[in-house]
Amino acid sequence: MPPRRRRRPNWAALALGAYVVAFLGFIVAPIAAVVLVSFSSASFITFPIPGYTLRWYWRIIEYRPFLDAMLVSIEVALASTVLAAALGVPAALALARSRGVPAALVSNFLLAPITVPAIVLGLALLYFLASLSFGLSFTALLIAHTVAGIPYVTRTVLAVYRSLPPDLEEASAVLGATRWQTFRYTTLPLVRPGVFAGGLFAVLTSLDNLPLSFFFGSASTSTLPVVMLSYMENQFDPSIAAVSTVQMLVAIVALVVTDRVYGIEKLTAA
């Protein structure tokens, strides 16, 4: 029997694996540090932490501006998502079956708020809405968050609707359904996963959006990220880490539920 040759180590695969592990560690390490600091018993942010306590999570309830800003953030996120769905779903349905250059240009235009830096978008909307006499108001804040949420709804609905065969809507029309009945009983149930996923992304983006909220926030319409930034300018205790941990937990749970129910990869593949 000829002697068995030893397999040479694949240095390229090992180097790639080490790079991926280092890259993931570089991303996860700051997040893990924030979560760990939120349980610190110290009165200021320090690492390593001297002990463990839950008092900073109780601080979220005790500090009134946190609760008020959280309510404003939730209200803006839900209202802007409803408006984004009302505008983005019809646009996506109209563009999904079009293959011409104008449709592609409009589709890219609707996705532009994702590619434009948020601070640039916020400054542009501030000048534009100020010229329309909206000023620093809840309405201006709602419009800004709606503009930021439309691309997410449009993207997911486009991906879902393009994957559906047009025969289903044609069969509904052949059976005597009107356009409204076809949309209500055939199209809308089929694209509902895309609407849900896009709305979820819009809500999470709105809750975590600092640049737009900073431009349009006022004393009565400050969102949670703005209040957190203001709080850090005056105090540097682990309550900010506790708020951030709660936000991350909400986002993770929402994304896991969406992935289990609908599948995020399928909904975002255009």
CA 254/CA 148 separation, integer angstroms: 19
Provide the pLDDT for residue 79. Answer: 92
Q: In the chain, what is the greatest distance between 2 CA atoms, to the nearest angstrom?
A: 89
Domains of the chain, first to last: 64-268 (1.10.3720.10)
Question: Taking residues 211-221, what's their average pLDDT?
Answer: 79
CA 29/CA 84 separation, integer angstroms: 34
Give residue 82's pLDDT band: very low, low, confident or very high (50, 70, 90): very high
Question: Taking residues 65-75, what's their average pLDDT?
Answer: 86
Provide the pLDDT for residue 91. Answer: 85
43 CA to centre of own chain: 32
Q: Say which DSSP state 44 is in.
A: S
Burial class (CB in 10 A: 0-12, 13-18, 19+), 266: middle
Provide the pLDDT for residue 254. Answer: 78
Amino acid identity of residue 145, one-letter, is H
Chain segment 149-199, per-residue pLDDT in tens = 888 888 888 888 888 777 777 788 777 777 788 888 888 888 888 888 888
Chain segment 9-19, per-residue pLDDT in tens = 677 778 888 88
Give residue 5's pLDDT band: very low, low, confident or very high (50, 70, 90): low
Give residue 4's pLDDT band: very low, low, confident or very high (50, 70, 90): low
pLDDT > 60? residue 267: no
SS3 content of the chain, % helix, strand, coil (to 5): 75, 0, 25
How is 178-204 classified by DSSP, letter by letter?
Answer: -HHHHIIIIIHHHHHHHHHHHHHHHHH
Give residue 263's pLDDT band: very low, low, confident or very high (50, 70, 90): low
pLDDT > 80? residue 69: yes
